[in-house]
Amino acid sequence: MRKLRILLLLFATGNLYAQSGIFTGLGVEANANTREGAALGGILTIGWDINDMFAVGVKTVLSSNMDTVVTLEPAGFFRYYFSRILPLPLGVLFAQAELGASLFFESGGTHPTFYTGLIAGWRFNVWEGLYLEPTFRAGYPFAWGLGLSLGYRFDL
């Protein structure tokens, strides 16, 4: 029984450490980080594809309503690729959970708050390591976000 447990542990950790790549991306987003209307901003993402199903990383969104509110959202994320469940010829659908902080800069003051969000997206492979990622996100303290990122994946 002990040998079986060790064998199962080796199989589980072998898949966990099967590194497949590091990715980074820059993008644009429209979101609801404002009191009324929409805010526009930029996205910076750095992540590690653990295997063909999971990724972890950090993401920062900086947005402004071009009037009084500027928002900075640094967050960590965990991503699940639906590559085995729903294989697509040109890319892969994913779901992403994020956790971090939102810093609102308004009227000369800073107002920090807790940030959590869920993202649905599609990584569309353009050319070798180059990809496009259209995304939709919902969470707190914003209501929605719609973004498009261009990135590059470095194989390990």
Q: What is the pLDDT of residues 123-154, one digit of tens each?
A: 998 988 899 999 999 999 988 999 999 999 99
List pLDDT tens digits, range 102-115. 999 988 899 999 99
Q: Can you give the residue range of the structural domain that contains 60?
A: 20-155
Q: Is residue 27 part of a domain?
A: yes
Determine phi and psi for 85, rounding to 5 degrees. Answer: -80, -40
Q: Is residue 11 part of a domain?
A: no
Q: Is residue 49 part of a domain?
A: yes
Q: Is residue 68 part of a domain?
A: yes
Q: Is residue 4 part of a domain?
A: no
Q: Report which of 48, 44, 110, 97 is spatially closest to residue 74, judged by C-alpha positions.
A: 44
Q: Are 147 and 43 in contact (CB under 8 A)?
A: yes
Q: Is residue 13 part of a domain?
A: no
Q: Is residue 10 part of a domain?
A: no
Q: Report which of 27, 28, 46, 36 is spatially closest to residue 142, judged by C-alpha positions.
A: 36
Q: How many helices (H) and strands (E) does the chain have?
A: 1, 8
The radius of gyration of the chain from alpha carbons, rounded to an integer in Å, stands at 18
Region 89-112: what's the mean pLDDT? 91
Question: CATH number of the domain that 146 lies in?
Answer: 2.40.160.20
List pLDDT tens digits, range 53-74. 999 999 999 999 888 899 999 9
Instruction: Answer whether 0.85 is exceeded by the pTM.
Output: no
Which alpha helices (DSSP H) does the chain contain, by range?
Answer: 2-16
- What pLDDT, on the 0 to 100 scale, is given for residue 100? 97
Beta bridge partners of 36: none
Number of domains in the chain: 1
- Of 12-16, 46-50, 59-63, 150-154, the range with the lowest mean pLDDT is 12-16
d(CA 153, CA 39): 28
Q: Is residue 14 part of a domain?
A: no
Residue 11 has pLDDT above 90, yes or no: no
